[in-house]
């Protein structure tokens, strides 16, 4: 078989590259992206991973939660992002209620990969059977534990998870089981830094943190929060990188470098 575009396959970041980065202790930088212009800019700066997050429901569409986001919208925004990038690895969220059974999850993951062009899909929570079903079909999966924004109506507020021993043990156990089910990446959101450090050390797959301390294998932030253009209050774990920058590209570069050098997050951004 001939690979049609060797230049493409030579430059695009792969899941193997991310795994090597974990093994070599090189931090992984990740930002959310929702459109072509930001995608091109983030890609140009050299950020390793872009996440087409369902946070677009809040920062782009102006909803209070991520729940109204549809699979059509995720496929559309994913396509906008992947069309404009040359190098970064791209993940997209399966939105609320689009992975209620293995078959439904597979149908929607196929849309994000085929229409949206993403390399991996992300789903929230300990859904071992669904992860394993997708992986067996050839769909790379990013798991997401800790604070699960799609469960906000059960949680009541966006608060730190895993603060007591039982909660922490459950998150740790779920992380191991998701890895066993075949997940190749884990996002840990809003958990104590000590817990995130333990999970990162215990897993072979890369762990990307948001509000999870500096010892994860990488960091992700919502783009609009770190540029301080989001609606409402910026979360405590995020940082305004525009403050010391003279351009948007400069702020993104400062974030990327701070992640690589482990200058971000500092203790004030951790729990």
Annotated catalytic sites, by residue?
189
**Out of 189, 215, 217, 253, the residue judged to bind ligand KIV by CB under 6 A:** 189
The C-alpha atoms of residue 48 and residue 256 are separated, in whole angstroms, by: 9
Q: Which is nearer to ligand KIV, 48 or 93 (CB)?
A: 93
By CB under 6 A, the residues from 24 to 43 that bind ligand KIV are 32
**220 near ligand KIV (CB under 6 A):** yes
Cα 178 from Cα 141, distance rounded (Å): 10
**Rounded Cα–Cα distance for residues 36 and 132 (Å):** 32
If one asks whether residue 222 binds ligand KIV (CB under 6 A), the answer comes out as yes
**Smaller CB distance to ligand KIV: residue 43 or 54?**
54
Minimum distance from residue 8 beta carbon to ligand KIV (Å): 26
Contact between 93 and ligand KIV per CB under 6 A = yes
Instruction: Tell me how far CA of residue 102 lies from CA of 109, 114, 139, 267, in angstroms.
Output: 10, 18, 12, 39
Q: Does 248 bind ligand KIV (CB under 6 A)?
A: no
Which of 29, 55, 119, 238 touches ligand KIV by CB under 6 A?
55
Rounded least distance, CB 212 to ligand KIV, Å? 10
Q: Which residue is nearest to ligand KIV (CB)?
A: 53
* Residue whose C-alpha is closest to residue 199's, from 231, 220, 177, 227: 177
211 in contact with ligand KIV (CB under 6 A): no
Alpha carbons 124 and 91: distance in angstroms, whole number = 13
Applying CB under 6 A, which of residues 54, 73, 215, 253 lies at the interface with ligand KIV? 54
CB of 164 to ligand KIV, least distance (A): 23
Question: Sign of the C-alpha dihedral, residues 264, 265, 267, 269?
Answer: positive
State which residue, 41 or 147, has the beta carbon closest to ligand KIV. Answer: 147
By the rule CB under 6 A, 186 interacts with ligand KIV: no
Q: Does 47 bind ligand KIV (CB under 6 A)?
A: no
Binding string, residues 123-162; x marks residues near ligand KIV by CB under 6 A: ----------------------------------------
- With contacts defined by CB under 6 A, name the span among 53-61, 101-109, 161-169, 192-200 that binds ligand KIV: 53-61
Segment near ligand KIV (CB under 6 A); pick from 51-59, 70-78, 102-110, 128-136: 51-59
Residues forming contacts to ligand KIV in the complex (CB under 6 A) are 32, 51, 53-55, 93, 187, 189, 210, 220, 222
């Amino acid at each position: 078989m001939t690979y049609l575009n060797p230049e493409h396959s030579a430059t695009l970041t792969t899941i193997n590259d991310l795994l090597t980065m974990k093994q070599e202790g090189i931090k992984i930088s990740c930002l959310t992206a929702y459109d072509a212009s930001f995608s091109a800019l983030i890609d140009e700066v050299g950020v390793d991973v872009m996440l087409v997050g369902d946070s677009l429901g809040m920062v782009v569409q102006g909803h209070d939660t991520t729940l109204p986001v549809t699979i059509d919208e995720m496929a559309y925004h994913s396509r906008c992002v992947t069309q404009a990038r040359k190098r970064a690895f791209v993940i997209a969220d399966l939105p609320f209620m689009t992975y209620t059974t293995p078959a439904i999850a597979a149908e929607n993951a196929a849309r994000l990969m085929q229409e949206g062009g993403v390399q991996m899909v992300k789903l929230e929570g300990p859904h071992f059977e669904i992860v394993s079903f997708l992986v067996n079909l050839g769909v790379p999966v990013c798991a997401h534990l800790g604070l699960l924004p799609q469960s906000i109506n059960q949680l009541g507020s966006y608060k730190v998870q895993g603060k007591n021993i039982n909660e922490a043990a459950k998150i740790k156990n779920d992380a191991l089981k998701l890895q066993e089910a075949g997940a190749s990446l884990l996002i840990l959101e809003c958990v104590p830094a000590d817990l995130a450090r333990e999970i990162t050390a215990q897993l072979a797959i890369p762990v990307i943190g948001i509000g999870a301390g500096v010892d994860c294998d990488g960091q992700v932030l919502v783009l609009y929060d770190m540029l301080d253009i989001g609606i409402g209050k910026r979360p405590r774990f995020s940082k305004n990188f525009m403050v010391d920058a003279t351009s948007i590209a400069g702020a993104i570069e400062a974030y990327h470098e701070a992640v690589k050098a482990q200058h971000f997050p500092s203790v004030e951004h951790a729990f």
